[in-house]
């Protein structure tokens, strides 16, 4: 294992682990505030129990996400000092704003968790909304920083001196479309994951009324968001086609410059022979998605030096996995929506419940695959067209040692999360604080 590979593997593992907790911080607050609002309007105690259980799960995931996020911040400086020395002054603002949003989320989450008996129902609900907004802003600012790595902007060197337009750097050409796609995907992933849990409980015959209400909220969030992700993904793909054509060619395993370029479904790239075998081709599909014109020409990979190409097989397979998971989620969301319109309760359809259980991890898989496309598809650049990844890594040797160490840390954290969720969220009853008078949240 080379030091460069160990450094990249460590960052990949850290990001893959952290992103699970990050998307919960973005999307889970929406579920808990919807449940609380439904309780305030209907007086149903099961909605209140849902809000309290989901808030406990959010707190656990937030705490572990804070640990993994702190590890990531250290890794950026320790593993990639050249990158941080160059990019730090340029993308410092979105990272600083992300930190502000993180602390804001922590403050209002604390109010939400411990304010059930201490603040009014309106103030408590407002605290939940602030958790939702600050979590979403936190993701927005981080993705803006990542967008800069894909489409660097807002800086120049004049007589050897760096001049930075922090606003232009943060709102670089890729920032908004990447952020919209990521946030929509987060709501879809968390919605389907939670829906799958409650669908499994319904299949076991557990507390039908409670889990039916939970399934309805989660599936509404996940299903509706699954229809937003293709739209935001299309906007992101257009920006990639414009500014990162090599990444687009790797995503589609397109080797030749091609007019009316087809959209490939499946296929196995052969990077040595520079062909993609056994793919289903949709004529003009890629040309339309990239340029809005079925006859447009899309650049291939053959004119790009091999040293400047990303790993095509990994990028292509990750893109296919992302799209495939998204299509399945959209299909399930559409079927569930039709069932509701036809007044066929989802809880009374065992086949649909089983499908939801099987589909529950697909949103997370799609997000992991999407980040693989974003990061691997940019290689060999850590800053597109400016700095190569090999030039950014630390000269410190034996990087396999911290890779193994941090892998062990993530295993321990993962086990701790599972144990805490089972004890605090999936317990038979939500514990109450004895000796305290509770504010009536049905008011």
Q: Token digits for 128?
A: 């939940």
| Element spanning 270, H or E | strand 263-270
> How many residues does the structure list for the chain?
443
Q: Residue 302 and residue 256: Cα distance in Å, rounded?
A: 6
| Element spanning 277, H or E | strand 275-282
Quick count: other Cβ atoms within 10 Å of Cβ 214?
26
Do residues 434 and 42 touch, judged by C-beta distance below 8 A?
Answer: no
Angle at 222 between CA 219 and CA 223, to 5 degrees: 75
| 111, part of any domain | yes
Domain interval for residue 114: 1-156+403-443
In the prediction, which pLDDT does 398 show? 83
- Three-state secondary-structure class, residue 374: helix
Q: Residue 59 and residue 115: Cα distance in Å, rounded?
A: 14
pLDDT digit of tens for each residue in the chain (443 aa)? 788 888 999 899 889 988 998 999 899 999 999 999 999 998 888 999 999 999 988 998 888 888 888 888 888 888 999 999 999 899 999 999 999 999 999 999 999 999 988 889 999 999 999 999 999 999 999 999 999 999 999 998 887 788 999 999 999 999 999 999 999 999 999 999 999 999 998 988 777 788 899 999 999 999 999 999 999 998 998 999 999 999 999 999 999 988 888 989 999 999 998 999 998 989 888 888 888 888 888 899 998 999 999 999 999 999 999 999 999 999 999 999 998 888 888 888 899 999 999 999 999 999 999 999 999 999 999 999 999 999 999 888 888 888 888 888 888 888 888 887 777 666 644 444 333 334 444 43
Do residues 46 and 209 touch, judged by C-beta distance below 8 A?
Answer: yes
In the prediction, which pLDDT does 425 show? 62
Q: Residue 379 and residue 418: Cα distance in Å, rounded?
A: 34
The full DSSP string for 83-134 is: HHHHHHHHHHHHHHHHHHHHHHHHHHHHHHHH-TTTS-HHHHHHHHHHHHHH
| 197, part of any domain | no
| 98, part of any domain | yes
Do residues 321 and 366 touch, judged by C-beta distance below 8 A?
Answer: yes
Q: Residue 98 and residue 171: Cα distance in Å, rounded?
A: 14
| 22, part of any domain | yes
| 83, part of any domain | yes
Please give the tally of structural domains in the chain. 1
Backbone angles phi, psi at 242, to 5 degrees: -75, -45
Backbone angles phi, psi at 280, to 5 degrees: -90, 125
Q: 155-158 and 161-164 as β-strands: parallel, antiparallel, unpaired?
A: antiparallel
| 374, part of any domain | no
Pick left, alpha or beta for residue 43 (phi over 0 → left; psi -120 to 50 → alpha; otherwise beta): left
| 269, part of any domain | no
In the prediction, which pLDDT does 440 show? 45
Do residues 134 and 105 touch, judged by C-beta distance below 8 A?
Answer: yes
Residue 73: CB partners within 8 Å, gap ≥ 6? none
Do residues 204 and 258 touch, judged by C-beta distance below 8 A?
Answer: no
In the prediction, which pLDDT does 413 show? 82
Angle at 435 between CA 438 and CA 426, to 5 degrees: 70
* Sign of the alpha-carbon torsion through 201, 370, 178, 324: negative
| 429, part of any domain | yes
């Amino acid at each position: 294992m080379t030091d460069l590979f160990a450094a990249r593997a460590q960052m990949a593992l850290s990001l893959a682990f952290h992103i699970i907790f990050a998307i919960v911080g973005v999307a889970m607050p929406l579920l808990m505030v919807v449940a609380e609002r439904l309780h305030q309007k209907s007086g149903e105690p099961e909605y209140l129990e849902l809000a309290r259980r989901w808030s406990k799960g959010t707190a656990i995931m937030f705490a572990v996400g804070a640990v993994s996020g702190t590890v990531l911040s250290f890794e950026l400086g320790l593993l990639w000092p050249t990158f941080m020395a160059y990019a730090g002054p340029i993308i410092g603002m979105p990272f600083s704003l992300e930190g502000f949003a993180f602390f804001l989320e922590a403050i209002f989450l604390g109010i939400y968790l411990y304010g059930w008996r201490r603040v009014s129902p309106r103030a408590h609900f407002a605290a939940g909304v602030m958790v939702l907004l600050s979590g979403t802003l936190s993701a927005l600012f981080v993705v803006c920083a990542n967008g800069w790595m894909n489409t660097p902007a807002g800086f120049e060197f004049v007589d050897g001196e760096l001049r930075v337009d922090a606003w232009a750097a943060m709102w670089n050409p890729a920032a908004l479309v990447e952020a919209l796609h990521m946030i929509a995907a987060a709501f879809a992933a968390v919605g389907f994951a939670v829906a799958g849990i409650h669908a499994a409980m319904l299949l076991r015959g557990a507390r039908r009324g409670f889990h039916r209400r939970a399934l309805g909220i989660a599936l509404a969030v996940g299903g509706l968001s699954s229809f937003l992700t293709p739209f935001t993904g299309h906007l992101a793909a257009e920006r990639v086609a414009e500014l990162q054509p090599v990444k687009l060619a790797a995503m589609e395993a397109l080797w030749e410059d091609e007019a009316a370029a087809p959209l490939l479904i499946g296929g196995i790239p052969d990077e040595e022979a520079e062909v993609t075998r056994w793919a289903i081709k949709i004529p003009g599909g890629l040309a339309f998605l990239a340029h809005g014109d079925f006859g447009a020409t899309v650049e291939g990979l053959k004119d790009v030096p091999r040293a400047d190409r990303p790993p095509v097989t990994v990028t292509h397979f990750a893109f296919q996995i992302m799209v495939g998971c998204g299509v399945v989620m959209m299909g399930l969301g559409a079927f569930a929506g039709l069932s509701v319109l036809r007044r066929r309760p989802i809880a009374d359809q065992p086949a649909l419940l089983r499908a939801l259980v099987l589909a529950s991890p697909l949103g997370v898989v799609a997000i992991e695959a999407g980040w693989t496309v974003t990061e691997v598809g940019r290689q060999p650049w850590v800053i597109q067209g400016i700095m190569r990844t090999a030039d950014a890594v630390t000269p410190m040797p034996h990087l396999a040692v911290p890779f193994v160490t941090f892998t062990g840390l993530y295993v321990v954290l993962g086990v701790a999360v599972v144990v805490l969720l089972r004890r605090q969220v999936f317990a038979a009853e939500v514990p109450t604080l004895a000796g305290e008078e509770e504010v009536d949240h049905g008011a």
